Structure 1
Amino acid sequence: MSNVIVKYHNDFNRIQLPSLTEQEQNILFSILAKIKNNNDNKPIRLFTEDIITGSVISKEHFTAIINSLKTKFFKASFMQIIETDTEIIDSNFHFFNTMDIHYQKKNQDDGYDNSKIFYYIDLLVNPRFEYLVNELTANFTAFELTEFISLSGKYSKTLYRLLKQFRSTGKAYFEWQDFMERMDIPSDYNMCNIDQRILKPAIAELRKPRNLFDKERIPFEKLQYTKLKNKGRGRGGKVVAIEFTFKPQVQEIQESKELPQDLKELENYVKKFERKHINSKDDGFCYIEKVSVDEKGRIKVMLYDNDKGKKQITLSTLQEFQEKIVNCLYH
């Protein structure tokens, strides 16, 4: 798995997300990593293989998670309160303007079977939220998707995201009620439950060494927390805030750009067919303008037709490339 970076404006951390499972968080932030810096105002199409999920799960399970996210996040309504001299406006809107989920019928020959499998999703971010994921140069949170997916526990993942905002300073402070809401901690949990069930396990997970990209690393070295109380009698006092400290992370994380050697060899081969012509049953007589290979080994071919203009096709295997491009070369 390559080094994919999730990057968004710090304001996203202030959104109280619905209660999401570990795998729902993995998929959601994998999607956010894919849609960042989409400036052409067109929906982005993501297939199953575009969405990194960590552990291998069945198509049926993946479909169930997408359906759950559809209700919890994709269709969730967010509210913005706007106050003027004469009015207070409660404005409700969705994170995505476009959210079209395409399914394939599981049993296409059975007219009575309505079961379906996720195929792809088209997403376009609401203009009100575009600043959260596009053109980020300051006030942003960034982390490696692979490291995020490797974490166990939904509270560990949420705390990881919140602390990454303060990665360069090594100190994060939250008002207690704000922290409870951001972490989605049940309101009926007493302080002992929060310590034993949430904070201590999450701290242990975020201090645990793990091997990523053939290198051992710790998400947050020397991570610890202190609950701050107001003045009270004796040992009492109400918890009003929480502070986390850890070793500052001064090195900027970067998205890997180089292809592995085997993909480089594949790209060197397919690029030989640039600036040639094909005459295929599907695409007719076309000029091969550009050929590239993405990090998953898929071959992307940009075709040009005098009448229809540019068209990009994606081929999953070298065999498919041979059948649709090489075997259709016009000599």
Structure 2
Amino acid sequence: MNNEVVKYHNDINKISFGNFKEKELDLFFSICFKLKEQGTDQIMLNFSELKDLIGENKNPKRLKTYIDNLNKKLAMINHQIEIEKNVFERFVLFTNIRTDFNKKILIVKVNEQFSYTLNNLIATYTKFDLMEFVSLKSSYSKNTFKLLKQWESKRNRTFKIEEFKELLGIPESYKMSVIDSRVIKPIITELPQYFKNLKLEKIKTGRKISHLKFTWEKDIKKIKDVQKIELEIMETLNNIIEQARKNRFLSQILTDKNIYKLTEMYEENQLKKGLKYIYKIVKKEVPSFAYLLRIIETGIEEQEIEIKIKDNKKEFINQGQNKIEKNFLEEEDPIYAMFLEATEEEKEPVIKKAKERYIKEIGVEELTGMYVKFFEKSKRSIIIKILKGE
């Protein structure tokens, strides 16, 4: 098993898996791994594949028990989301779980309302290596592992003691001394191999322990060169993206790749306007990315017309700001500054190559109409990449 990365929306970390045993947790997150970016399509898993993922090859009969127990527990798990302000909806995670012990297959389908947790993930997600997760022996270690992975960038996480108990399924009857021996001990024993210099601080309020604070350090050795571009998006924009994806006609077209294209084409404020517009206006399937662009462009133009009516100075201010930003960027990047000083003949093959790369990236046949404007916005960054040999 090499680099099987589990990736899901942080909302899954709000669900308590405290009643799941070790192998049941391995199975659940193995299924999440297989369902990642699969939409709501039904997926079939062979028992042999599951055995490899959870490392259970010694006793095939045990797998049947694990799957049977998992099915029962999955049927009891549900999730709540806020669809509008103060309007909540609760639903089961999977609409269909079918186990065929004759053919040795497991068939799973994600609830459409729950699919956002496993599909089109841009930000606010948890990511970890399935092999590392499976290698842990304690269910308390496994549950803490995934919770801490959510905070990998900050490398600290403080839990209220009641929250910690609920998320890990710690019995209410456990006193702190029992929690230390049965819960904390395996966590502190197992997790430091994946969280460098992991430390646990018990914070008291009065005489009682009220919070548990985990801290760890960045492990340079484990940093990998991830080929897929991970976007760092402002929280407000990400919230708008997540909202737009709740429109069922947009969920399939707003993939990671297409969102990246949109962030290259539009400035953040424009993209916010466009996404808000399509969320409200789209009432049928969007056949292509080009069609999506036309709707977004219409939304941006309509809202910008309203802004211009309210403030006729806005265009002048924006032009001035764009000029300042352009000069600043040219000063900050000597490679691009040198390119600007070149002759038109020297620039021509580079610009041609930049256009070809841009056409290929956005998936159109030629650079016409609105795509010319989009190219001009992205031209500088593409040229710099070409000059750097990227």
Gap change, CA 1:3 and 1:180, over 3 Å in 2? same
Note the alpha carbon deviations across 1:274-302, whole angstroms, 9 max, x for none. xxxxxxxxxxxxxxxxxxxxxxxxxxxxx
* Residue equivalent to 1:133: 118
* Residue equivalent to 2:130: 145
RMSD: 2.4
2:156 equivalent to 1:174: no
* Residue equivalent to 1:43: 42
Note the alpha carbon deviations across 1:62-116, whole angstroms, 9 max, x for none. 111100001012x11415376989x986x54211112122121xxxxxxxxxxxx
Mapped to 2, the partners of 1:78 and 1:253 lie a distance apart of 36
2:23 equivalent to 1:23: yes
* Residue equivalent to 2:215: 245
Provide the TM-score with structure 2 as the length reference: 0.53
How far is 1:159 from its partner?
A: 0.9
**3-state SS of the aligned residue for 2:108?**
strand
Relative to total residues, which structure has the larger helix share, 1 or 2?
Answer: 2
* Residue equivalent to 2:94: 96
Mapped to 2, the partners of 1:130 and 1:59 lie a distance apart of 31
* Residue equivalent to 2:12: 12
How far is 1:164 from its partner?
A: 0.7
Structure 2 contact 161–210 (Cα < 8 Å) conserved: yes
Note the alpha carbon deviations across 1:136-192, whole angstroms, 9 max, x for none. 111111111111111121111111111111112111111221111011111100011
Mapped to 2, the partners of 1:253 and 1:19 lie a distance apart of 36
Gap change, CA 1:57 and 1:31, over 3 Å in 2? farther
Mapped to 2, the partners of 1:149 and 1:247 lie a distance apart of 22
* Residue equivalent to 1:275: none
Mapped to 2, the partners of 1:23 and 1:253 lie a distance apart of 30
Equivalent runs, 1:251-290 vs 2, <5 Å? 251=223, 254=226
* Residue equivalent to 2:150: 165
Structure 1 contact 5–144 (Cα < 8 Å) conserved: yes
Matched residue pairs, number?
224
Mapped to 2, the partners of 1:7 and 1:42 lie a distance apart of 17
**Deviation above 4 Å: which 4+ runs of structure 1?**
81-85, 252-256
Mapped to 2, the partners of 1:77 and 1:154 lie a distance apart of 17
Structure 2 contact 18–170 (Cα < 8 Å) conserved: no
Percent pairwise identity: 32
Mapped to 2, the partners of 1:18 and 1:126 lie a distance apart of 22
Structure 2 contact 41–110 (Cα < 8 Å) conserved: no
**3-state SS of the aligned residue for 2:144?**
helix
Mapped to 2, the partners of 1:21 and 1:253 lie a distance apart of 34
Moved more, 165-174 or 64-73: 165-174
Mapped to 2, the partners of 1:133 and 1:6 lie a distance apart of 9
* Residue equivalent to 2:59: 58
**3-state SS of the aligned residue for 2:217?**
coil
Q: Computing the radius of gyration over CA atoms, which structure comes out larger, 1 or 2? A: 2
Gap change, CA 1:84 and 1:48, over 3 Å in 2? closer
**Counterpart code for 1:186:** P
**3-state SS of the aligned residue for 1:62?**
helix
By relative contact order (CA 8 Å, sep 6+), the higher-ranking structure is 1
Q: 1:229 aligns with which of 204, 207, 214?
A: 204
Relative to total residues, which structure has the larger strand share, 1 or 2?
Answer: 1
Structure 1 contact 169–249 (Cα < 8 Å) conserved: no
Gap change, CA 1:2 and 1:81, over 3 Å in 2? closer
* Residue equivalent to 1:276: none
How far is 1:50 from its partner?
A: 2.3
Gap change, CA 1:2 and 1:83, over 3 Å in 2? closer
How far is 1:46 from its partner?
A: 0.7
Structure 2 alignment gaps of length 5 or more: 229-390
Structure 1 contact 5–254 (Cα < 8 Å) conserved: no
